[in-house]
Structure 1
Amino acid sequence: MTTNGPSAEKHPAQRRRPRGAVREGLVAAGVEMARTGGPDAVVLREATRIVGVVPNAAYRHFADRDELLAEVCLAAMRELAGRMAAGVARVEGERGDPVAARLRLYAIGVAYLEFAREQPGLFATAFSLPQQHGYDMPGTEPGPPRTPLGQLRAALDELVDAGVLDEGRRDGIEYPIWSAVHGLAVLAGQGPLRDLPAPAREHLENLTMAFLDHGIGSVDQPAE
């Protein structure tokens, strides 16, 4: 016998969800679509289908698909930042130790390249809306730097404190370093180097990081 009264169980798509849960679900769905297909795969209607809400429900949270994509960009950047932070955390050594400082910069670059290699869809998505996406992620909680750019800057500041990088060369040096690592990630991911076998790609990654480390400067300072 079918029950039509108020006690009847609703279909999952008909159950009322907390407002925040719907928004978070749509973003999570967008992240998974981006993970498998890049930014072009992020579709608002498909996100509502995955979450199990009617299509119009999405417009209570996002004006259009670009607003959802902007949130997915931010989530992808946070995942990249998390990988970088984890790599830095694995390096032993006190702040100010020249060897540890260099290894932390190396860990940042390696994590960046690994993310681009292992998560090409999210990597492409993270940089797909530069006009809407603040790479410094304002509004994050205080404490250690949590953004990719913030972590790179912190590593370079430590290199100055450790006497590896001359303070006079510090201003703005994060941008050529970022450009070199990001450029290799793009060339090897979707550019002319995309068909390189894994050992050759790993060799190029090591060469790039060694080149940057050499360019930072020597631990040994010239005698006065």
Structure 2
Amino acid sequence: MTHRKRSTYRHGDLQRALVAAGTELAREGGPSAVVLREVTRRTGVTPNAAYRHFADKRALLHAVSMAAQAELARSIEQELSRIESTGDVGDVAKARLRAVGAGYLRYAQTQPGLFRTAFAEHADLRDAAAPDSAGDSGLTPFQLLSAALDGLVEAGVLPAERRLGAEFLAWSSVHGLAMLVIDGPLQGLDEEQRTFAARRLLEMVEKGL
């Protein structure tokens, strides 16, 4: 039975199936749940077949983290798609920056397992522009944030001299709140309190830049 199921995978399909199975495990339990034995069980293949695509568990987890980042990008894109043009380029640019933060925080709260996994096995920023972590727009979460900040400069809202490194300030602030809410002392906040904290934080980031 296992052999027949394995034989149905065409070239390249097995790797995608393994990542998809790992992503569902991460959705359920975070990065620690991405266990090769369970991934192969769900895909109906042997561990040896999986090792042809991933050298070890860390390689598989890295691929799953890229997929989780792509879902994060799509969460941000959903928020961006809700923005209506007001005719004021400055207001739209500000709304786009807030949407990036709102999509980020919503993903953390609704998909905590994947959110934790999205940053597993990332030693530096080399993966920030990896195609595997991009959403439907072709942009990664980091690139979506960068684009929103560039938009502020283009709209005359953010002085060009303050643009350098703005990604790190905005990202650190929003990520910090996300982690405090899902894994820290702010876990006890109710929905109204989380919404209030998120709105005030995004306002603070916008004004602080």
TM-score (normalizing by structure 2) = 0.90
Change (3 A) 1:157 1:163: same
Secondary structure (helix, strand or coil) at the match of 1:135 reads helix
5+ residue gaps, structure 2: none
- Provide the residue aligned with 2:153 in structure 1: 160
Q: How far did residue 122 of structure 1 move?
A: 0.4
- Provide the residue aligned with 1:67 in structure 2: 59
Deviation track 1:161-219 (CA, whole Å, cap 9, x = no partner) reads: 11111111111111111100000000111011112222111111111011112223xxx
- Provide the residue aligned with 1:131 in structure 2: 123
CA distance in structure 2 between the aligned counterparts of 1:58 and 1:14, rounded to whole angstroms? 16
1:98 is aligned, of 79, 83, 90, to: 90
Q: How far did residue 87 of structure 1 move?
A: 1.6
Report the structure, 1 or 2, having the larger helix content: 2
CA distance in structure 2 between the aligned counterparts of 1:144 and 1:122, rounded to whole angstroms? 20
Deviation track 1:107-153 (CA, whole Å, cap 9, x = no partner) reads: 11000000000000000001121127733233579x96611111111
- The residue correspondences of 1:21-40 to structure 2 (distance < 5 A) are 21-40=13-32
Secondary structure (helix, strand or coil) at the match of 1:192 reads coil
1:112 is aligned, of 104, 112, 117, to: 104
How many residues align? The count is 205
5+ residue gaps, structure 1: 1-10, 217-224
CA contact (8 A) 2:35 2:57 kept: yes
2:179 is the alignment partner of 1:186: yes
Counterpart amino acid of residue 67 in structure 2: A
- Provide the residue aligned with 2:208 in structure 1: 215
CA distance in structure 1 between the aligned counterparts of 2:21 and 2:205, rounded to whole angstroms? 37
Identity of aligned pairs, percent?
43
- The residue correspondences of 1:49-60 to structure 2 (distance < 5 A) are 49-60=41-52
Q: How far did residue 14 of structure 1 move?
A: 2.4
- Provide the residue aligned with 1:203 in structure 2: 196
Deviation track 1:6-39 (CA, whole Å, cap 9, x = no partner) reads: xxxxx35424121311111110000000001000
2:4 is the alignment partner of 1:14: yes
More displaced 10-residue stretch of structure 1: 47-56 or 181-190: 47-56
Q: CA RMSD in A?
A: 2.1
CA distance in structure 2 between the aligned counterparts of 1:92 and 1:55, rounded to whole angstroms? 49
Secondary structure (helix, strand or coil) at the match of 1:19 reads coil
Q: Which entry has the higher C-alpha Rg, 1 or 2?
A: 1
TM-score (normalizing by structure 1) = 0.85
CA contact (8 A) 2:100 2:145 kept: yes
- The residue correspondences of 1:167-178 to structure 2 (distance < 5 A) are 167-178=160-171
Runs ≥4 residues deviating over 6 A: none
CA contact (8 A) 1:145 1:154 kept: no
CA contact (8 A) 1:62 1:68 kept: yes
